[in-house]
Amino acid sequence: MGAETEYTALFERQFIDGEWVPSSSADFIDVENPATFEHFARIPDGTVEDVDRAVDAARRALPAWKRTPLEERCALMELFLKHFQSMRNAVIGLEVKELGAPVTFAANAHCDYQYVRVASYIEAAGQVKLEEAFPASTVIREPVGVVGCITPWNYPLGQIVQKVVPALLMGNTVVLKPSQSTPLTACLMVEAFRRAGFPKGTINLISGRGSRAGARFAVHPKVAMISFTGSTEVGVTLAQQALAGVKRVSLELGGKSPCVWLPDVPDYAPAVPHLFNSILLNSGQTCTALSRLLVPKSRLAEVEALLVEHLSDYPVGDPADPKTKIGPVASKSQYETVKRYVELGVGEGARLLAGGVPEAPVKGWYVKPVIFTDVRNDMRIAREEIFGPVLCVIPYGTLDEAVELANDTPYGLNAMVYGASRAQACAVARRINAGNVYINDGPRDVYAPFGGYGASGIGREGGLYGLLEFTQLKALFDHSTF
């Protein structure tokens, strides 16, 4: 039995006001292993009453928590991190089971990288100026209040860390609603907060359906802010509902990100792993996935050969096998969505370079990587977020056309530019309308702001900017400041 079995009893409860308590509903939602179809756990089908109890607890805890010095909040967060790190084996085991993430990727991206993120927030908190003198005033940063955090299924811990940790550090109290599909590691995280001694009511967790429990956040009069990660469609609906109560809204939404290979590169082979890691790992279920590859028309055949050659470096299989790079997609719903888009791409006239319409599943929601070529940017497969291991190869003529194609999207979350001349690659990167642009093999920086333009969202996560997202400004005017 895995290390995660120690925490099984927590899964069927809500965490409200510092305690694991039963839901007001007697109904449960099964959690499925997408690699085996096994229903191996269940969570409460949370109710509006559950949300109200949690929000009330968070509201009661807010005055004392916001007065707690930042240094004390950071010390508690460091203790939380130690407890959370002690759960490493259980976290990895659950990410394999509830998401279908290959075990190596689960360890590196879904677990260890999240510990790094927590540590980066603690460090960045020391840079926040909570009070600043101006010529005729003093400006202070205060917490926003009770924050409702609604997180998606594709990075079950990553998106929670990006919201809950900075919100708490800045003195807010939190009610978390994780995805009903991948909710289990969230329970471990909240248990680590409990063991670290966070005051009752500062962090609460409500499991259940987003359409009921999550939607309640948007209209709850005691919730001051909504922080949501998910589809653009759902984000827009939540924002519209929240606006009726003039709530603060932070949205991290979808993407259809371009990867531009410049003509001056003598050999594109070194660029392939960066591309494939983005679009294939996590089975393409990544909002920042580089799903559109823009290449010079004159080198299309060369690129196609390279892509096919390196596809064998990404084997599909059992996520519990360390050799597996690509596991199943997360659910039947996601499998059917990807299948529909592959059929659509064929119907639109794109040419299949690799893969095809997924076969009927026998054991697991597996989708082998699909590469479409001869794609036009006006095709739906090039414009809509598929959220699966599906790559669209789009040829371009001039560099100006490449930039135009890269920017011809309602989204603006992520991009990559690969070129032999760093100066030229940087120049192209500056012309792309996206909140994040990678140049050649530039690494991710956890201290940098993360977020997008246009339909990709509102607000920023990560580092100092992610902390400031959960603060509001107050100007004090006093005669002594003149």
Q: Are 416 and 444 in contact (CB under 8 A)?
A: no
**What is d(CA 88, CA 465) in angstroms, rounded to the nearest whole number?**
28
Catalytic-residue membership of 32: no
Catalytic-residue membership of 78: no
Over its length of 482 residues, how does the chain's per-residue pLDDT go in tens digits? Answer: 466 778 899 999 999 999 999 999 999 999 999 999 999 999 999 999 999 999 999 999 999 999 999 999 999 999 999 999 999 999 999 999 999 999 999 999 999 999 999 999 999 999 999 999 999 999 999 999 999 999 999 999 999 999 999 999 999 999 999 999 999 999 999 999 999 999 999 999 999 998 888 789 999 999 999 999 999 999 999 999 999 999 999 999 999 999 999 999 999 999 999 999 999 999 999 999 999 999 999 999 999 999 999 999 999 999 999 999 999 999 999 999 999 999 999 999 999 999 999 988 988 999 999 999 999 999 999 999 999 999 999 999 999 999 999 999 999 999 999 999 999 999 999 999 999 999 999 999 999 999 999 999 999 999 999 999 999 999 999 866 44
DSSP structure class, residue 106: I
Contacts of 35 (CB under 8 A, 6+ apart): 96, 100, 318, 319, 320, 327, 328, 363, 364, 365
Contacts of 428 (CB under 8 A, 6+ apart): 260, 262, 399, 402, 403, 417, 419
Q: Is the C-alpha dihedral spanning 379, 382, 384, 390 positive or negative?
A: positive
Torsions phi, psi of 214, nearest 5?
-70, -40
> How distant, in Å, are the alpha carbons of 187, 365, 474 from that of 204?
10, 32, 27
Q: Are 369 and 352 in contact (CB under 8 A)?
A: no
Contacts of 340 (CB under 8 A, 6+ apart): none
Instruction: Name the active-site residue from 95, 191, 252, 469.
Output: 252
pTM score, whole prediction: 0.96
Instruction: Name the active-site residue from 111, 149, 259, 287.
Output: 287
If you count them, how many residues does the chain have?
482
Q: Are 150 and 230 in contact (CB under 8 A)?
A: yes
Q: Are 300 and 395 in contact (CB under 8 A)?
A: yes
DSSP codes, 411-471? EESEEEEE-SSHHHHHHHHHHS--SEEEETTPPP-TTS-B--EETTEES-BSHHHHHHTTE
Q: Are 232 and 369 in contact (CB under 8 A)?
A: no
**What is d(CA 130, CA 138) in angstroms, rounded to the nearest whole number?**
10
Q: Are 165 and 186 in contact (CB under 8 A)?
A: no
**What is d(CA 154, CA 200) in angstroms, rounded to the nearest whole number?**
29
Task: Collapse the DSSP code of 384 into the 3-class scheme (helix H, G, I; strand E, B; otherwise coil) and give the result.
Answer: coil
Q: Based on the number of CB atoms within 10 Å of its own CB, is 430 exposed (0-12), middle (13-18) or buried (19 or more)? A: exposed
Task: Map out the domains of the chain with their CATH numbers.
Answer: 3-253+456-476 (3.40.605.10), 257-445 (3.40.309.10)
Task: Of 313, 329, 311, give the one whose Cα is nearest residue 393.
Answer: 311
**What is d(CA 61, CA 279) in angstroms, rounded to the nearest whole number?**
42
